[in-house]
Structure 1
């Protein structure tokens, strides 16, 4: 039977030692690097650069998506109307049987 890689005792000890070292250091012990402050002008340049990467859908894609949403809403509405009607009929039948007995 083949052994899993890293399942020998030495590898297990190494992993345990690394885990213990990480667990021993408190979360706040490592000094956080100070955040680099950017100027408002640099911020807006970066915003413009990111905004240029946006790809907008075409008018045709928007129309097709809107039609598909309308179709799915109609199908879902018909489904729930059918389930509601079936449950109403079933419940009224059960109530009629309960009142008859």
Structure 2
């Protein structure tokens, strides 16, 4: 099986390096990486609370409507598969009857 052009590991690394270089801002390439800050549990808790405030919860009505829709779809899918299963079993039964009769 022939390999696609440019699918060698070296070609992939070269493309990744060019993409990374193109995505970095011009001044950021020369700047050294900032030192990693030590873990601060208090700051972490503040950030978690700030993110938790951004959560939008669904209302009771929206939750009820969604649950009813899921239940309806489950019933519809189960009826569909019941009918398909019945039709396939009847078809196989008829084919086997024809095979045994001949």
| TM-score interval, smaller chain | 0.5 to 0.7
The structure-2 alpha-carbon separation of the partners of 1:39 and 1:92, relative to structure 1 and needing over 3 Å to count, comes to same
Q: C-alpha distance in 1, partners of 2:83/2:35?
A: 61
Q: C-alpha distance in 2, partners of 1:35/1:64?
A: 47
TM-score by length of 2: 0.66
Q: Which runs of 4+ in 1 moved over 2 A?
A: 31-38
How much has 1:45 moved relative to structure 2?
0.5
Q: Which has the larger radius of gyration?
A: 1
The gaps in structure 1 that reach 5 residues or longer are 1-18, 24-30
- Determine the structure 1 residue equivalent to 2:79: 78
Task: Count how many residue pairs are aligned between Structure 1 and Structure 2.
Answer: 75
- Determine the structure 2 residue equivalent to 1:38: 39
CA root-mean-square deviation: 2.1
